[in-house]
Chain A
Amino acid sequence: AQSVTQLGSHVSVSEGALVLLRCNYSSSVPPYLFWYVQYPNQGLQLLLKYTTGATLVKGINGFEAEFKKSETSFHLTKPSAHMSDAAEYFCAVRTPPSQTDKLIFGTGTRLQVFP
């Protein structure tokens, strides 16, 4: 069975500071990994994804994540936080193409950015 653990339900940073949101996964097969962002009263928007190949993945809005198989991690980072980054962030795992490409989500991390 696959699962995702997001450490820290709330993260607070100052504007301009480094953002680090942690995600660890459990999977018996090579995982496909995703980060989604959710703004209030909106659906989820894909930030970035890892399937195969390069382990450092760059996404939208200056975010990136690195797949580390040895650590079963896929942490999300951004060098300099902006006020507009305040939102809920979800890490998710999906099995490689199969009959049901459902996503399994973590419980989310709420990012607050202070001026």
Chain B
Amino acid sequence: GAGVSQSPRYKVAKRGQDVALRCDPISGHVSLFWYQQALGQGPEFLTYFQNEAQLDKSGLPSDRFFAERPEGSVSTLKIQRTQQEDSAVYLCASKGNEQFFGPGTRLTVL
């Protein structure tokens, strides 16, 4: 596709549910990033992939957060046992010369 796409665009989960957020990067982009953007804040780094290798997961806030990119293209961010503090917009970016961002998934945990 022409840009980075993410699905779903909006997700409402009850506290304790597991969620999976998908990112389709720009074709051919080796690098992929996930960021978390809380309301009224700037995006904060979660994790980074180069092809299928997760080279940096230092930003993942807890072991409930897990990301994968098994074939070096599509990536999934999974959050287990969601909590209210997980409510945020989750942004995916893929990198050619610079990072190009998707529209994000807005997660609301009730």
- Chain A residues close to B by CB (< 8 Å): 4, 9, 34, 36, 41-46, 49, 90, 92, 99-108
Contacts and interface: CB of A to CB of B under 8 A. Distances in A.
B45 A43 contact: no
A43 to B, nearest CB: 4
Contact of B43 (A46, A100, A101, A103): A103
**How many of chain B's residues touch chain A, expressed as a range?**
20 to 34
B91 interface: yes
B101 A107 contact: no
B103 A42 contact: yes
A100 B42 contact: no
Contacts, number: 55
Most buried by B among A9, A106, A108: A108
A49 B99 CA distance: 11
Chain B interface main SS type: strand
A44 B4 CA distance: 11
B62 interface: no
B95 to A, nearest CB: 7
B55 interface: yes
Contacts of A104: 45
Contact of B41 (A42, A43, A108): A108
A46 B35 CA distance: 16
A63 to B, nearest CB: 16
Contact of B33 (A36, A41, A90, A102): A102
